[in-house]
């Protein structure tokens, strides 16, 4: 009778311990950890912003060079860029979890992290509901559920206020220029396309299948936009060439003086500040609604 008991004891000794923590990422992948993550490397500026908004920054041990908000994030150890982060720097930080995105990080990075045995949680957001879902997921991931509620409530309250303000207004045709050269615009599955609609506009490139397709100037002119929004991405991108657009005097937007700059960092990052971007869009599209 002792032999089977001994065999069971040996099996228990060598068997891996049951996972103490698991979560499903935004691509539906099961991510299994020994315990809730205490050391997180964020390869996504949006995720970095959310962790700070939730008060979970003490778990953040590494960020990218692009994680510049809030300003305190710049003081965290950097692992380099988003496309090709420094794998040695990531390993040296001994993370329990790396949070990455399929839109900005490379497949090679994912493969290398897998070879190194570093768990990776993947995120992506194409809708405002994805933004709120990500905030909720990160709240649960970091044990900040109580902080998550007020953050989500503020977002939803401000979104509803914008929707009410623009509801009585007509919906002008809006051309949003994500990048000037080559010309890149938001397509059907881009977050900013939904934001333009919430702000009371009709995005003229919403029919494009790709999220952020290249577009010709001729195609943009043919859409006869009534509002043109040029996204600025910060000091590193240089000045926007407004003169090129101002020359297109046949466009309704130019004739009406409705060429505006907007802050791309608010509109392309899916963190809590996305509602700041929404409000900026709404004021540009419907200034009459916010007097």
Per-residue confidence (pLDDT) for residue 242, from 0 to 100:
85
Residues 120 and 220 placed together within one structural domain of the fold: no
> How do residues 170-197 score in pLDDT, each as one tens digit?
999 999 999 888 899 999 999 999 999 9
Residues 111 and 193 placed together within one structural domain of the fold: no
Instruction: Write out the two tokens for 8.
Output: 């069971």
CATH number at residue 236: 3.40.50.1980
Residue 146 lies in a domain: no
Residues 253 and 181 placed together within one structural domain of the fold: yes
Residues 190 and 277 placed together within one structural domain of the fold: yes
- More reliable by pLDDT, 104 or 49: 49
Q: Which residues constitute the domain of residue 88? A: 19-124
Per-residue confidence (pLDDT) for residue 11, from 0 to 100:
32
Residue 87 pLDDT level (bands cut at 50, 70, 90): very high
Per-residue confidence (pLDDT) for residue 243, from 0 to 100:
86
Is residue 87 within 8 Å of residue 30, measured between CB atoms? no
Residue 3 pLDDT level (bands cut at 50, 70, 90): very low
Per-residue confidence (pLDDT) for residue 200, from 0 to 100:
97
Residue 159 lies in a domain: no
d(CA 184, CA 215): 6
d(CA 235, CA 256): 28
Residues 80 and 173 placed together within one structural domain of the fold: no
35 has pLDDT over 70 = yes
Residues 208 and 118 placed together within one structural domain of the fold: no
Per-residue confidence (pLDDT) for residue 239, from 0 to 100:
53
Residues 173 and 286 placed together within one structural domain of the fold: yes
Q: Which of 62, 96, 124 is the last residue of a domain?
A: 124
Residue 76 lies in a domain: yes
User: How many domains does one find in the chain?
Assistant: 2
Per-residue confidence (pLDDT) for residue 54, from 0 to 100:
97
Q: Which of 114, 199, 272, 161 is nearest to 100 (CA)?
A: 114
Residues 106 and 180 placed together within one structural domain of the fold: no
Residue 247 lies in a domain: yes
Residue 131 lies in a domain: no
Residue 224 lies in a domain: yes
> How do residues 243-262 score in pLDDT, each as one tens digit?
889 999 999 999 999 999 99
Per-residue confidence (pLDDT) for residue 115, from 0 to 100:
93
Average pLDDT of the chain is 89
Q: Kindly list the distances between the CA atom of residue 114 and the CA atoms of 62, 109, 117, 216, 240, in Å, as whole numbers in the listed order.
A: 18, 9, 5, 39, 40
Q: What is the mean pLDDT of residues 24-29?
A: 93
Residues 42 and 106 placed together within one structural domain of the fold: yes
Q: What is the mean pLDDT of residues 5-31?
A: 61
286 has pLDDT over 70 = yes
Q: What is the mean pLDDT of residues 125-131?
A: 93
Q: Which of 124, 156, 185 is the last residue of a domain?
A: 124
Residues 105 and 196 placed together within one structural domain of the fold: no
Residues 174 and 89 placed together within one structural domain of the fold: no
Q: Which of 186, 183, 178 is nearest to 202 (CA)?
A: 186
Residue 8 lies in a domain: no
Residue 136 lies in a domain: no
Per-residue confidence (pLDDT) for residue 103, from 0 to 100:
84
Residues 81 and 173 placed together within one structural domain of the fold: no
Q: Which of 124, 155, 177 is the last residue of a domain?
A: 124
132 has pLDDT over 90 = yes
């Amino acid at each position: 009778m002792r032999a089977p008991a001994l065999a069971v004891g040996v099996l228990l000794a060598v068997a891996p311990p049951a996972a103490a923590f698991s979560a499903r990422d935004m691509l539906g992948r099961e991510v299994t950890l020994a315990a809730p993550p205490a050391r997180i490397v964020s390869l996504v500026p949006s995720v970095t912003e959310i962790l700070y908004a939730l008060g979970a920054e003490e778990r953040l041990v590494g960020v990218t060079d692009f994680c510049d908000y809030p300003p305190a994030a710049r003081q965290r150890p950097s692992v380099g860029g988003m496309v090709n982060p420094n794998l040695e720097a990531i390993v040296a930080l001994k993370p329990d979890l790396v949070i990455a995105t399929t839109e900005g990080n490379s497949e090679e990075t994912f493969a290398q992290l897998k070879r190194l045995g570093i768990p990776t949680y993947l995120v992506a957001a194409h809708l405002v509901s994805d933004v709120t879902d990500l905030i909720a997921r990160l709240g649960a991931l970091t044990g900040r559920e109580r902080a998550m509620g007020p953050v989500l409530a503020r977002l939803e309250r401000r979104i509803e206020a914008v929707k009410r303000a623009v509801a009585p207004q007509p919906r002008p045709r809006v051309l949003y220029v994500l990048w000037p050269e080559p010309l890149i615009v938001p397509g059907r599955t881009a977050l900013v396309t939904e934001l333009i609609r919430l702000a009371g506009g009709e995005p003229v490139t919403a029919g494009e299948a790709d999220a952020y397709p290249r577009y010709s100037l001729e195609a943009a002119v043919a859409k006869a936009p009534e509002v043109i929004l040029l996204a600025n991405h910060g000091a590193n991108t240089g000045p926007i060439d407004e003169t090129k657009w101002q020359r297109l005097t046949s466009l309704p937007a130019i004739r009406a003086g409705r060429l505006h700059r907007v802050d791309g960092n608010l509109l392309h990052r899916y963190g809590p500040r996305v509602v700041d971007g929404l409000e900026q869009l709404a004021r540009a599209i419907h200034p009459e609604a916010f007097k």
